[in-house]
Amino acid sequence: MFRWAPMLAAYHGQQIHQKPVNVVRTRAAGLTQTLLVAIIAAIPALIAASITGVFETPDIGAYLTYAAMIPAGPLPRGEAFLGSSHAPIPLYRTPGYPAVIAVLQYVSLTHSMSLLFLVQLLSQALLAAYTYRVGLAHGRRPVYSFVAALMPAAGSVAVFQSAVMTDALFGALFGGAMLLRFMRAY
């Protein structure tokens, strides 16, 4: 209904009964819908991973080298740092993603890439659920919040989530930070 419709109706002496925008009636129903959004957001990446497997990008060697250097002790400095890889790749890497890889290798050396895929998948699903909840909190209709929440899971992003790359994890962290900032602005 248009914003000016109640004014016109009042001018003509009519009553307009508007339906509430939010359909979420109970907390349990809201959490169920949010969980459903998270599950649906994970499906495209799971399909891509089942077809291609968890694949490694060409620069994964640099991340794995850096991840192996982290638990070994202090990172090398100077000339030793430059010679630590086939190219001075660690110079251009932030330690965050290699640190995540190092932790997952500590948990399970043989399944660390699958665990990394799972972490990336869960972070993207949580981002979709959070996007849905932010949309509802701002008074958007559930269908609009649902579509907005699933946009990041569609298209090439599903393939990126099944790859071992920083973009999947960074995208979820950045998106969550922006939504948190958006939430605090209102």
Cα(176)–Cα(152) distance, integer angstroms: 12
DSSP letters, 48-104, are HHHHH-SEEPTTHHHHHHHHHHTTTSSPP-HHHHHTSSSSSGGGG--SHHHHHHHHH
Domain boundaries defined on the chain: 26-185
Choose between 2 and 63: higher pLDDT. 63
Distances in whole angstroms, Cα of residue 52 to Cα of each of 47, 49, 55, 127, 177: 9, 5, 7, 24, 30
Provide the whole-model pTM: 0.71
> According to the per-residue pLDDT averaged within each range, which of 85-99, 125-139, 161-175 is highest?
125-139
Please report the pLDDT score of residue 27 as a whole number: 65
Query: 65-122, pLDDT tens digit by residue?
Result: 778 888 887 777 777 766 666 565 555 666 788 888 899 989 988 888 888 888 888 8
| The pLDDT value given to residue 40 | 93
pLDDT tens per residue across span 20-39: 444 445 666 678 899 999 99
Cα dihedral 72/76/80/83 (nearest 10): 70
Q: Specify the DSSP element, H or E, that contains 128.
A: helix 112-137
What are 1-16's pLDDT values in tens digits? 445 445 444 444 555 4
pLDDT at position 164 is 72
